[in-house]
A and B are shown apart, each in its own frame.
Chain A
Amino acid sequence: MIAVSRLLLPLHVILIAMTVIGHFVLAAGKSLTDSSVHYSQMSGIPYMFYFLFLFFTVCATFIYMLVYFYKSMYGDEGYLTFTLPADTWQILLSKSLTAVLWEVIDLFISMFSLMLLFFTDEMWVSFGELFSKLGYYFYREFGVRLTGVPIILIIAVFLLALLQGILVFYLCFTIGQISNNHRVAAAIGVFFGINILLQIIVTFAITPFFSTVNYNNTYSNIMGFLTYSLIIEACVCTGCWLLTTYLMKHKLNLQ
């Protein structure tokens, strides 16, 4: 965690600092009503830098997590990682949790940054109303006031999607390292292969859901879709996890 935070923490601190400064600059700009045209022209370049930096931060977080995994598992540092008195599932769990945690932190900071800079007062109000409406629809459909369930479902689907994305890459690296030569190229090849396979599996797995679609009830369709997505993601994550730990244990190839 410390190793990863060394780069990602300063990166996100800079993003927060840019957001706070931008927020005050925009607030100051709004008060300059007489020169608003001039102000909006002036703010174009900082906007561009802001979006570029935001994009860079989001990409860097994901890419760095993958590079860190590869270096610490299948690079020189792997000689230490794989000789620690720990089971392979414990090693994989620690890497996965670190990656998911940083992905979530990155997402929250990015969303917070965008909302703080660009949300108007009305948008903040409607954002709050969105959650109230979700609870209302659930009550109308099922007669039970469980405002938290759809939100929890959405968060679970989202978190599992993050985990799935990370575990698929981990699996690709783990298969790639079995190769005696060109391990990264092998991992990239495996990545494309696995994605095609996953597309096929997900298409077959989601088919039963479409046979249950009720065209008069959008809300239950959404809930059904979320539930199906959750189950499929959980299956994919479990498959990737089991295969990765098996290969780490029985096919480790640190030449």
Chain B
Amino acid sequence: MMGGYGDVQLLNDDGSRLDGRKVDEMRPVSIEAGVLPAADGSAMVTHGLNVAVAAVYGPMEAHPRKIQRQDRAVIDVRYNMAPFSTSDRIRPGFNRRSREISKVTAEALESVVLVELYPRSKIRVEIEILAAEAGTRCAGITAAAVALADAGIPMRDMIVGVASGKIEDTVVLDLDKAEDNYGQADLPVGILPNTGEIAFLQMDGDLSPAEYELAMEYNFKAAREIHDIMVDALQRRYEGGEA
């Protein structure tokens, strides 16, 4: 159990969720590329009430030198939640959670970026969560992927962050805050929609093999939808005549 509050009702009598979504329905997603002029590449993702901004700088010489790799670039990710992103003020600066998310995001991105093209270099990815409502690591990964593409960094595919979970013994796509807090399981994944590969996967709570299969089916379906929105954001930026 995640939250452990089993008496909280998360599904309506007609099977719909508290916000009216169906079990396999995603929150609305919108993406804008190139939002920060000072960065080499940037993107803003609005996923439900989550707002994530990602900025990419580099490739640049990796400093300090001890982090340099002679045969590839390193990806330095800094995930941070703004103090005003939740209803309770978050103490500014790194904490255990942001370190963990930065690490898993960096590892996920390293598996898709062609790091071997830039030996001894560093690609800096800054992810700032301006508003949080469950699923910020997924919104952050999606924003980072669009920002990397916008910066012209070569990648095998654009990684999409998406999550499913379980509430009241029902597998649902894209948990909102109440479902994340009081649900039974959460399964965020990073998916490469074109190749069908999984670049990162975490699981909180318990899922049976059948529930896991269903959750992954929902995740792949959502990843393809979000990927279309990502491509559209990049096309709007460059084909729409906007600078």
> Are A and B a genuine interacting pair, yes or no?
no
Measured CB to CB, the residues of A under 8 A from B are none
